[in-house]
Amino acid sequence: MTVSPLQHPADGVLQYASIGGLELETGGYLPDVVLAYETWGQLDPDAGNAVLVPHALTGSSHVARGSSTEPGWWEELVGPGRTVDTNRYFVVSANMLGGCYGSTGPASADPDGLPWGSRFPFVTIRDSVRAEARLADQLGIARWHAVLGGSLGGARALEWAVTEPDRVLHCGVIAATAASTAEQIAFAQAQLAAIRLDPDFSGGDYYNGTPPLTGLGLARRIAHITYRSEPELEYRFGRTPQAAEDPFGAMLPAGRGRYSVESYLDHQARKLAGRFDANSYLVLTEALVSHDVARGRGSLRAALAGTAADFFIAAVESDRLYFPRQSADLAAALPRETSVHHIRAPIGHDGFLTSVREISGALKREVFG
């Protein structure tokens, strides 16, 4: 479905746009690509109030509640009267190409009506920007007032500013870096291996059988440890046993009770396995692993030299996955002097979701005033 710029669909309700066939950066091709997206607010006649909010790795397009009953993942930031005030701005969020919340991904049907599965091609952050640019064209948006995202969403926002410099007025990069580091790649590799080594994975072609929920759950456990800080885990759980369970109840790991922190990780694993596709986890993680805004563009400073956007850079002080110094390095490479704002939250990387209010004032002054 194509939505004209003058239509006003219900806020926070999933819509679909067919953007045609897409040649991918590494040589793959996807025919008849569909992007699932949601919008909030009303697009001005001159389309000058549009804001794009890309989601993080396992996020969706549901940024804010809107007309639905489901809370959004950035509810504190986006909505009527919020920092990104949907009474003033037209907010768009699209499920990333390769995802599992409505956009074309591994679970989607190929031209023969079969799930793509293992045949789904490699997708990069730049591919996602090209796809979202077509969506913007269909919506009548020539330039975004802002592209704003955290983590994988921040990487996508940065790539937007470099790949489409004339289409981004403000670029918000929160808890994200200019390129995935060796350590970030290492954490990701362990997660990918956990999925691929699950006996139910079947090389990625499991859609007519049992999905690899064990492997996906293990991947989530590994990831979630990096999303939280050691002090937060110690404060919340320490060595406390899970209620009614004794960690010393048996000699075999499968038979003993759990510590509270183990129960917490098990809970996070079950939650993700119940809502996310393992192949999409692989595709989006591989895209994030490949993230390097300077790839093929010389140095980082050279890659950023052609950007026209005003940048808003923010880091979570306790982040042990995307270190604040990496945000500082990104800011230092920008062509215009840019400071780094800090989210003072002890929780770790997930602070960009749970404590975004820490930077809401600065965002309003610098981007949405």
Pick the catalytic residue from 93, 319, 341, 355. 319
Concerning whether 200 is annotated as a catalytic residue, the answer is no
Pick the catalytic residue from 60, 224, 349, 355. 349
246 known ligand binder? no
Pick the catalytic residue from 60, 151, 327, 355. 151
Concerning whether 151 is annotated as a catalytic residue, the answer is yes
344 known ligand binder? no
Closest CA to 196 of 318, 72, 279: 279
| CA-to-CA separations, 159 to 103, 156, 200, in angstroms, rounded | 20, 5, 35
Concerning whether 93 is annotated as a catalytic residue, the answer is no
Q: Which residue has the tokens 């921040």?
A: 154
Known binding residues are 220, 350
What residues are annotated to the active site? 151, 319, 349
Which residue ranges make up the annotated binding site for substrate? 220, 350
